[in-house]
Amino acid sequence: MADYQNRAENAERKEVTIKFGKGLMEEPFMSKSGKELVEIKIPNTDRKDTRPWESFVVPANYVHENQYGKGMWMKLPENGTTRLSRSVLQGQDENGRNIWGRETREIPNVELKALMETYKTKGRGSVMTDLEGKKAEAGSRAESGWKPARHEELPFR
């Protein structure tokens, strides 16, 4: 009876599937408590933001390789939160060396999914739309002085 209740609770628990590139995942490491963990980086959404990327740590067995590509995926509880951290430059010591600190914040896992999957929302046009844009741009340019000769105007036959 208790086993049936556990299965029902697991079925009701909603999870968020987060997909990301393999390059965002660091090598697994052992924590002080002996658990195998992995750090995952989150790219800055703004290209002009030059701060170090935020990261979070999850157990290594949460992360799985995508069957069809170079991607990775993991599942986290939908109503849970994750702590993000990044290195922050706090200043310099008397020798001119940088002093770094940590900035941390907690966000809901649903928001974490949105942060990790921003690459899906970036506008990527198809090859055809890119060509149409280039043709329109080329048509708006001023005509150059050179024109190709027509077949009838060629000096030899």
Decide if pLDDT at 5 tops 60. Answer: no
Q: Give the distance from CA 118 to its chain's centroid.
A: 6
Task: Report the phi/psi class of residue 148: left, alpha or beta, with left for phi > 0 and alpha for psi in -120 to 50.
Answer: beta
pLDDT at 1: 46
Q: Would you state the structure tokens that stand for residue 87, as one six-digit string?
A: 């290195």
- Does residue 143 or residue 99 have the better pLDDT? 99
pLDDT in tens, 70-122: 788 999 998 989 999 998 888 888 888 998 899 999 999 899 888 888 766 66
Which distant-in-sequence residues (6+ apart) come within 8 Å of 76 by Cβ?
Answer: 15, 16, 18, 58, 62, 82, 109, 112
For the whole model, what pTM was predicted?
0.64
- Does residue 17 or residue 128 have the better pLDDT? 17
Asked whether 118 and 45 are in contact (CB, 8 A), the reply is yes
pLDDT at 57: 92
pLDDT at 141: 56
pLDDT at 56: 92
Mean pLDDT for 26-45 is: 90
Residue boundaries of the structural domains of the chain: 2-139
pLDDT in tens, 127-137: 666 666 666 66
Decide if pLDDT at 39 tops 90. Answer: yes
pLDDT in tens, 47-67: 888 888 899 999 999 999 888
